Amino acid sequence: MTAIVEFWNNLHPLLQGVIKGLAVIGVMFPIGGACSLVERKVSAAIQGRPGPNRAMPFWFAWVPVIGPFLQRLGVFHLMADGAKMFFKEDSLPGHVNKFYFLLAPVVAMIPALTTVTVVPFGAYFDEAGRMIPLVLANLDVGILAVFAIGSLGVYSLILAGWASNSKYPFLGGIRASAQLISYELSMTLAVVPVFLMINVPGGSGTLSLTDVVGFQSGTWQGLTMASLHGTWFIMTMPLAAIIFLVALFAETNRLPFDMAEGEADLVGGFHTEYGAMKWGLFFVAEYSHMLIGSGVFTLLFLGGWNPLPFVPLASVVGWLAHLSPLFQHPLAVGLLSIGIFLAKVLFFMFLFMWVRWTVPRFRYDQVMKLGWQKLLPLAIGNLIFYAVLIALLQPKL
């Protein structure tokens, strides 16, 4: 064990970074794929049908109980889908702008996989009891980097829509760009109160997502200001959380804000002309966006890797340490925190699917109206309210 740690520490930092990055991508890609399967299963269950349950490698049928069970679960459809995407004929329409047409899916993947670098997905404690986040790059600009890079995703939609040189994809791209830019505003404004809260005047300012979670990991101290550190921001700022969540749905192009690809009015929207793995990249990028978005929401409003309000990770580790000191090992704490964080993120992935089958798709003008006339004033009002409140309260914090 120590030899491995030694070997790891002696690696070149660049190499370490590459390995860590590949590891994170290696987890995100399969989760994205698995989500596409879960999406089909959840859709089916809500609609009262069994969903994918046919595909099975022929030799797997020999395994007595597990084989049929996995077949009913539809897990092999994931492989079938993947194989199809890789081996199906990848046609390139003759009328497209080839360079940008091929570039668009790649551009879709870049922000999806880049934002993950600043999103912490767990933490452990060093000997001094300080919280060390598990994050690829613990930048102080945290949330700013997420918004800056995440909003680049709109380029892929515009590129795909424009380069397809066809009317429906073009309209899809236009709609998507307008929608994404509109909701970016309210999304960002909804987050500002959170950072007003965690940044004490006079101290060094931070936009790091880790510090947001750090602020939310406190215990119950009675009805005092100190207890604010144990609450989650969804309890103290519910309106901001709702605005952020709605904007997140719009940003990730999920129903009911499915303007970019509304198949009823736009065939397939911006990806009408795409097929095979090029289309698959858009698909994975959408799920990666959802994963990152849910992760950011969890970190900002749901206490990150803290299991419950007023029950931070440190307390849980303390209780577990009574059972066995092994639980205090950084590896165990890291795995526990990642587990808690992932559970919350996966709940949000489920919420995305759940809402998809509940709320019908908005009309385009309704989307714009909601974004500009409802959410944006709400977000501004919310910001002013909390700015005043924090200015009044913070001297006592």
The residue ranges that bind another protein (CB under 8 A) are: 42, 45-50, 242, 354-355, 357-359
**Amino acid identity, residue 248?**
L
Of the two residues 242 and 332, which places its CB atom closer to another protein in the complex?
242
Backbone angles phi, psi at 142, to 5 degrees: 10, -90
> Which residue from 133, 303, 296, 316 is spatially nearest to 231, judged by alpha carbons?
303
- If one counts every other C-beta atom within 10 angstroms of the C-beta of residue 371, the result is 24
Of the two residues 125 and 350, which places its CB atom closer to another protein in the complex?
350
First-to-last C-alpha distance (Å) of the chain? 44
Of the two residues 242 and 335, which places its CB atom closer to another protein in the complex?
242
Contact 212, 194 (CB under 8 A): yes
Q: Which two tokens stand for residue 376?
A: 């944006």
Of the two residues 46 and 73, which places its CB atom closer to another protein in the complex?
46
Minimum Å gap between C-beta 301 and another protein is: 15
Minimum Å gap between C-beta 55 and another protein is: 15
Of the two residues 155 and 350, which places its CB atom closer to another protein in the complex?
350
SS3 sequence, 129-177? CCEEECCCCCCCCHHHHHHHHHCCHHHHHHHHHHHCCCHHHHHHHHHHH
Minimum Å gap between C-beta 293 and another protein is: 18
Of the two residues 112 and 370, which places its CB atom closer to another protein in the complex?
370
Minimum Å gap between C-beta 351 and another protein is: 9
Minimum Å gap between C-beta 34 and another protein is: 18
Contact 276, 283 (CB under 8 A): no
Minimum Å gap between C-beta 349 and another protein is: 15
Of the two residues 27 and 351, which places its CB atom closer to another protein in the complex?
351
Of the two residues 161 and 371, which places its CB atom closer to another protein in the complex?
371
- Report helix, strand or coil for 364: helix
Minimum Å gap between C-beta 105 and another protein is: 32
Q: Any residues with CB less than 8 A from the CB of 157 and at least 6 apart, and which? A: 104, 108, 172, 173, 176, 177, 180, 253, 260, 270
CA distances from 290 to 32, 244, 270, 351 (A): 9, 13, 18, 11
Minimum Å gap between C-beta 362 and another protein is: 11
How are the residues of the chain apportioned to helix, strand and coil, as percentages rounded to the nearest 5? 70, 0, 25
Minimum Å gap between C-beta 81 and another protein is: 21
- Report helix, strand or coil for 125: strand
- Give the ranges where 199-275 is alpha helix by DSSP (H): 209-216, 233-236, 238-251, 263-266
CA distances from 110 to 36, 117, 145, 354 (A): 20, 12, 13, 27
Contact 138, 209 (CB under 8 A): no
Of the two residues 187 and 198, which places its CB atom closer to another protein in the complex?
187
b/e string for 321-360 if b means 16 or more Cβ within 10 A? eeeeeebeeeebbbebbbebbbebbbebbebbbeebeeee
Of the two residues 2 and 47, which places its CB atom closer to another protein in the complex?
47
Minimum Å gap between C-beta 246 and another protein is: 9
